[in-house]
């Protein structure tokens, strides 16, 4: 059995990059998964508390992200959809793993060093966040964890901690491995095309949010940075702006940049076609989102069911870990 596990942190606002890089793959996984518990998607709200945060916003975004996942087609009948903090096993295993992880190991994490740099108050949870992520993974026995480069080191840590725990206390965990599936597309920020589109980009960035109105989407695309060459070409390194527009158009029209490149000669035409395709892609998602948002009771019900199913999978692993490490059964 191979389980597909995806966590999305409720910081910032979901965008087209998240749709193609994280949300569509969840929908794809639930189609091929052999059982309804083989695809697990969760909103990692605990991870959102590791940096400065606004409590009301975290709560609001958690609900918004769940609703958006449902709107893009995550089906609670074929996948487990839940909120990390609703499943107590995450924090419980986090503590047990802290007793098998080293301070030096956590301190060496590149993301910790980057995110703590220049801050006078660094939350302890930022240091231990990769250990919580290890718990997220180990609880569900995921053997392969698909991650981008930025998370590779964290999966390595999960692996090290699992191996150490197993060696000291007995075989409790499946040791995970990071895998790097080919990404559908890494979409760039339209205003700074060499950088990737990001949930937490500053205002004025070229990010296409899933809940932006058609007007805002069209304006963001119209303002996209291109270059002065004046020809449409696909060359992500040399011509990042134009190439990124082609990539955006491709993911919204089921095509590839290579196939699209010959169809346009002028930037204006390419931008218009891209805006039309993005708006057409997001219109049904936004319509479904509006329906779901009008029925918060239903979304709540999905989350209650998701948390119960996740907990049923995770609980035996936590029980085994508690026993192995020396805790007296309650």
- The SS3 of residue 196 is strand
The answer to the question of residue 154 lying near ligand ATP (CB under 6 A) is no
> Which residue number places its CB atom closest to ligand ATP?
21
Tokens at residue 262, please?
Answer: 């010959």
Query: Which of these, 265, 153, 185, lies nearest to 16 by C-alpha position?
Result: 185
**Tokens standing for residue 82:** 């839940």
Residue 18: name the closest of 38, 43, 39, 36 by CA. 43
Q: Does 8 bind ligand ATP (CB under 6 A)?
A: yes
The catalytic position among 57, 115, 177, 271 is 115
Site mask for ligand ATP (CB under 6 A), range 197-236, x = bound: xxxx------------------------------------
Q: Is residue 115 annotated as part of the catalytic site, yes or no?
A: yes
Q: Does 270 bind ligand ATP (CB under 6 A)?
A: no
Residue 323 CB, nearest distance to ligand ATP (Å)? 34
CA atoms 147, 18, 58, 87: torsion sign: negative
Catalytic (active site) residue 199? yes
Angle between helix axes 55-71 and 296-325 (nearest 10 degrees) is: 110
Q: How many CB atoms lie within 10 A of CB 56?
A: 8
For the record, the structure tokens of 50 come out as 């590791």
Q: Closer to ligand ATP by CB, 252 or 318: give it.
A: 252
Is 271 a catalytic site residue? no
Identify which of residues 20 and 29 has a Cβ nearer to ligand ATP in the complex.
20
Question: Would you tell me which residues interact with ligand ATP (CB under 6 A)?
Answer: 8-9, 11-12, 17-18, 20-22, 148, 186-187, 196-200
Residues labelled as active-site residues = 115, 196, 199
């Amino acid at each position: 059995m191979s389980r597909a596990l995806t966590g999305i942190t409720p910081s910032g606002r979901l965008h087209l990059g998240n749709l193609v890089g994280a949300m569509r793959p969840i929908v794809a996984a639930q189609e091929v998964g052999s059982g309804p518990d083989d695809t697990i998607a969760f909103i990692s709200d605990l991870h959102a508390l590791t940096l400065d945060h606004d409590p009301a916003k975290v709560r609001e975004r958690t609900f918004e992200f769940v609703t958006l996942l449902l709107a893009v087609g995550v089906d609670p009948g074929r996948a487990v959809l839940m909120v990390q903090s609703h499943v107590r096993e995450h924090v419980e295993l986090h503590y047990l793993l802290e007793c098998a992880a080293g301070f030096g190991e956590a301190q060496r994490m590149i993301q910790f060093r980057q995110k703590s740099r220049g801050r006078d108050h660094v939350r302890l949870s930022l240091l231990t966040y990769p250990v919580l992520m290890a718990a997220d993974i180990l609880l569900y026995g995921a053997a392969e964890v698909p991650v981008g480069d930025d998370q590779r080191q964290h999966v390595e840590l999960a692996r090290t901690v699992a191996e150490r725990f197993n060696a000291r206390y007995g075989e409790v965990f499946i040791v995970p491995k990071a895998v790097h599936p080919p990404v559908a597309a890494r979409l760039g920020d339209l205003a700074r095309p060499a950088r990737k589109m990001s949930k937490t980009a500053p205002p004025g960035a070229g990010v296409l949010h899933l809940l932006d109105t058609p007007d805002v989407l069209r304006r963001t695309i119209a303002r996209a940075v291109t270059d002065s060459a004046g020809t449409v070409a696909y060359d992500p390194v040399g011509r990042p702006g134009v190439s990124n527009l082609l990539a955006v158009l491709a993911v919204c029209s089921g095509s590839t940049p290579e196939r699209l490149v010959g169809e346009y000669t002028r930037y204006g035409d390419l931008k218009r076609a891209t805006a039309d395709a993005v708006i057409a892609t997001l219109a049904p998602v936004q319509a479904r989102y509006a329906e779901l948002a009008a029925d918060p009771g239903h979304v709540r019900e999905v989350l209650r069911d998701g948390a119960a199913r996740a907990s049923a999978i995770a609980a035996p692993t936590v029980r085994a870990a508690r026993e192995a490490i020396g805790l007296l059964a309650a």
